[in-house]
Chains A and B, each alone.
Chain A
């Protein structure tokens, strides 16, 4: 019932006119249930129409279906660069196409910035421990500020950090590899693809504006 009401409300918003008689909204964006259930969610009106073959509910369902299947509607998929979300996205696209629903683009969310990836991959290859320790000490890591200048020795506190930092780099490298595979799977769908950066501090209003700007830059909106 709730699904019928939601899709109905979205379609009503699409057709709503302002006081000047023109369509009130340029675009109506609706959040939908997780990918596994999306074609069910959008097709619910077909079922209701199937059940109620006459009467106002039938008419309503028909109207909703017309909007959902029109060229002005697109179903976008949001995913992460992780195995299960990408798998569900691929399955979701197949399902949508089979149901005759219009597929838009794929939005890859929470993408980490590339600069870290190079470092991570470097860390995974070769052994840079000594040089690294020196570089860290030089930059003031594990040392007291004010005692800068050149160093020939590395304080113990700095040295202790090298192992864990490298280990984190290697973990990240493994993740980067996985992400590359996932990206390839998404690209294979041959749909428009957009990327949204990971907001490190969580999502707040400022973050939302940043994401919106990123989307605009990529031509998504």
Chain B
């Protein structure tokens, strides 16, 4: 394995766009892609030892669709599956019956085969409420849930969504009703947020600041407010001036009510974390052949190794291909330009323009395999068509070259990570049929 510094340089290289390279005149001939280990998705989901599959990666690469497609395919291949989604597109959510907002899995209708598929969409606020209700007596729970600070916190301070996704995963696993859980992760610019944010939130809730605020309230049963005014605790005195006394009042009340849960938040996050490290968990890093997505994927791969979490492989979505790889973008563009420029010297493409004596002496049988109805002229319309198709092709070739460069950089840095390339679809996936199509593409060997 390369040293850390070499790896970091490589990561940066993996993240570099191919911008400017087309301009620098490099030919867009397609060489063979770098050989990579093939990720066998069916083998992964068929394996009874696989209990949890987590789909991570930066936002916008098709994580939710991949997770749903995997869940459906596993169910249709006989497993009892639950899929936890975070932010599915509306139409897909509707077709999977995910519009019920009760924060529990529901059976997905229309699934073939012997297995079963349930799915749910994470409601982070409800999940937070569930944690509170599970650990505090009803009166305390009510106090907490009515507290403005809690309300703000539970509806989306940074990290809440990630924390609650982890929490929900822990709950589903503890329930034991399924033999495979597929987890989608929240969309964010940084793929690592999924691993980091829960700890940050957990630490905050269990942490020092809150304990400082807690302390005055504990001593002799006096309220925190008195201590703030007296300034016995210098730190809270200053804080009170900056934040405003009522913030501290709210937080202090919140904290007092949460008393019995202390240590609980961090502990729960840690427990789920250990679940992620256990055998039976598999991480799939989802990316697209683009700079930002692959850079995040690279960070994630490194982090999984550091945290000893099992990486199954990379799912590379939205990959383009062509049935005419032998035609380079340059040749296609040159030909398009030829077709588009007005004829200057060449006579129109018509047989009567060629040497009359030759045509007089040739017989039909000596003409090399011409189809029966060779057109005499090429219409302007066809020339426009030909030019347009050539330009389309050039654009596709340029895109493929860029994508392949991105992919090859990743593979050269991480030669041991199995990869599966999923061809780009024409439109979005709206329904189970679309998910099945993705499932097929995840398993086609190229």
Chain A residues proximal to chain B, CB less than 8 Å? 1-3, 34, 36, 40, 47, 50-58, 82-84, 87, 112, 115-116, 118-120, 122-123, 128, 130-132, 134-136, 138-142, 148-153, 157, 160-161, 163-169, 171-172, 174-175, 178, 200-204, 207
CB pair A141–B374 under 8 Å, yes or no, is no
Interface centre among B23, B388, B395 (most CB of A within 10 A): B388
- List residues of chain B with CB within 8 A of the CB of A115: 388, 391
* Contact sample, A vs B, 28 pairs, CB 8 Å cutoff: A51-B246, A52-B246, A54-B244, A119-B384, A119-B391, A119-B392, A120-B389, A122-B381, A122-B385, A122-B388, A132-B382, A139-B335, A139-B386, A139-B390, A140-B334, A140-B335, A141-B331, A141-B332, A150-B349, A152-B370, A153-B367, A161-B326, A168-B323, A175-B427, A201-B402, A202-B19, A203-B19, A204-B23
List, in ascending order, chain B residues with CB within 8 A of A34's CB: 59-60, 187
Chain B residue numbers with a CB within 8 Å of A148 are: 346
Which single member of B149, B346, B392, B428 contacts A84 (CB below 8 Å)?
B428
A152 B335 Cβ-Cβ under 8 A: no
Judge whether A119 and B385 touch: CB under 8 Å: yes
- Taking a contact as CB atoms under 8 Å apart, the answer to whether B89 and A84 are in contact is yes
B24 → chain A, closest Cβ, in Å? 10
Within B322-377, which residues are at the interface with A (CB < 8 Å)? 322-324, 326-327, 331-332, 334-336, 338-339, 346-347, 349-351, 353-354, 367-371, 373-375
Query: Are the CB atoms of A138 and B378 closer together than 8 Å?
Result: yes
Contact between chains at A174 and B428 (CB < 8 Å): no
B247, A52: Cβ atoms closer than 8 Å: yes
Dominant secondary structure of chain A at its interface with chain B: helix
B 97-124 to A, binary, CB cutoff 8 A, 1 in contact else 0: 0000000000000000000000000000
- Residues of chain A within 8 A (CB-CB) of B382 are 128, 131-132, 135
Contact B23 A201 (CB under 8 A): yes
Interface contact B19-A165, CB-CB below 8 Å: no
- List chain B residues, Cβ under 8 A from A52: 243-244, 246-247
B23 proximity list for chain A (CB < 8 A)? 201, 204
Instruction: Indicate which residue in A141, A172, A204 contacts B19 across the interface (CB closer than 8 Å).
Output: A204
A52 to chain B, nearest CB (A): 4
Chain B residues numbered 206-258 whose CB sits less than 8 Å from any CB in chain A = 241-247, 250
Judge if B176 is at the interface, Cβ distance under 8 Å: no
Note all chain A residues with C-beta closer than 8 A to B374: 130, 134, 152
CA distance A134 to B323 in the complex (A): 19
**B12 at interface (Cβ–Cβ under 8 A)?**
no
**Is residue B152 contacting chain A, with contact meaning CB distance below 8 A?**
yes
**B17 touching A202, Cβ below 8 Å:** yes
